[in-house]
Structure 1
């Protein structure tokens, strides 16, 4: 069965969105993602948003490409490309008239979408109420319900505590010590030791608290606010994980695919 006439538009093309985008393209759906001029994706090696910076990106065999115009993006999407355009306000949604709209920005609040935004509207994580704000919500909190499709109610609230990875939680996340421009001093895939400087903001160093693999890092030159996540260290230290979709992203992708099929009937 062909789903070529069922365009799916994503708001956001970071790690979690990209896992779902990849899965939908493999299932035969054309997908376009709307991004900002300077995406804040951390795991850039598995984020289609990287195409905004580098023109192209690849996630586990699926090609992503940046397009300047929505009409060109639509043609690319029909060819099985994860098409990315800059449209932080979602102005192109009306023009594109998608069958499905997925809000994957993880804003943790509903700012500008409703069930009237598309025939099927899906949101990732907390901040949206299924059946009122959107048609479906996909749980993004690690645990028993990760990836579950919610048709009534909300996802679990954000705890502010990163999920456990290799026995570590908060220590594995790198955050901006002050507000300003982020400049990395190491690169994705580097092995780091506790105390290593991985970057700086306005001359203030950011040091790793753990030994491990630098699997996530903001693009250089991005403006950040104090306390904002700028990277993460994987204490498992397995370089094979650098270019593969995570278990969390895959679980959420499964939920998105389920919600899409439930929605389009």
Structure 2
């Protein structure tokens, strides 16, 4: 189909961009991994890989199994999601735009020759070399800035400050094994409360306590295999902000606006 936009990645930040493009009436295809690991699962179209469909703020994302199914889904006003971590469909479909929204902090294979316009979110890419444009994803004065030469800020490994908390908000696995939930996204949890546990390879268990009191905004999918240091949960200290668990974040919307800004001129011709 003409002037297709392909977005690589369907996590929560990627979904902000996908939703903005969909809202503008632009045709979007999402490429995802076989086993996505989003923790903000209520606002990630990657969940369609597991459930066949994901609904985010009125936008329906539907799992498709071949390139032949894509156009029909788009005609219905929905967003197709295809399992294609290597991006093989890009060569077949020849899109007008490719957006790398994997947020892996490194380039997993996106290149400028994939489309007339290539855009990448966050660090790991150099504008003018790896891709045409890079969008800044670090919170602060330059969040959402369109970078036409050079790179985004390098990954600091420190989450943005929300409600006076930063690194405490995000929980990482202390052991490798299989992740199991005791709580659900949207639950109010207390610091020290066991919100999940990890079934370790040696048969032992590793409890996952809440690092602070607040709303469980993100939680890894039940049964997911994790390695030590894997991101598994996200707590928002603002207990009155329950709705935030189920809506696209301010950060994702800011980034999405910048992506739309770079793409729209190509669809006005």
Q: State the alpha-carbon separation in 1 of the partners of residues 265 and 213 from structure 2.
A: 43
Q: State the alpha-carbon separation in 1 of the partners of residues 184 and 70 from structure 2.
A: 30
What is the TM-score of this pair, normalised by structure 1? 0.95
Query: Of 68, 75, 80, which aligns to 2:72?
Result: 75
- Map 1:31-42 → 2, pairs under 5 A: 31-42=28-39
Q: State the alpha-carbon separation in 2 of the partners of residues 224 and 97 from structure 1.
A: 35
What is the TM-score of this pair, normalised by structure 2? 0.94
1:207 paired residue number = 209
User: Runs in 1 of length 4+ with deviation above 6 angstroms?
Assistant: none
Deviations 1:74-125 (A, max 9, x none): 3212332121111111111111211110111112122312110111111000
2:244 paired residue number = 241
1:259 paired residue number = 262
Q: Given the alignment of the two structures, is residue 22 of structure 1 paired with residue 19 of structure 2, yes or no? A: yes
CA contact (8 A) 1:102 1:122 kept: yes
Query: Of 91, 112, 117, which aligns to 1:94?
Result: 91
CA contact (8 A) 1:34 1:90 kept: yes
- Residues 78/136 of structure 1: CA separation in 2 closer, same or farther (3 Å cut): farther
Q: State the alpha-carbon separation in 1 of the partners of residues 14 and 71 from structure 2.
A: 18
Q: State the alpha-carbon separation in 2 of the partners of residues 18 and 151 from structure 1.
A: 23
1:226 paired residue number = 228
Q: State the alpha-carbon separation in 2 of the partners of residues 67 and 104 from structure 1.
A: 19
2:133 paired residue number = 136
Deviations 1:191-244 (A, max 9, x none): 100011111122101110111111101111211111111110011121111111
1:9 paired residue number = 6
CA contact (8 A) 1:32 1:74 kept: no
| Aligned-CA RMSD value | 1.4
- Map 1:108-119 → 2, pairs under 5 A: 108-119=105-116
> What is the Cα deviation at residue 28 of structure 1?
1.2
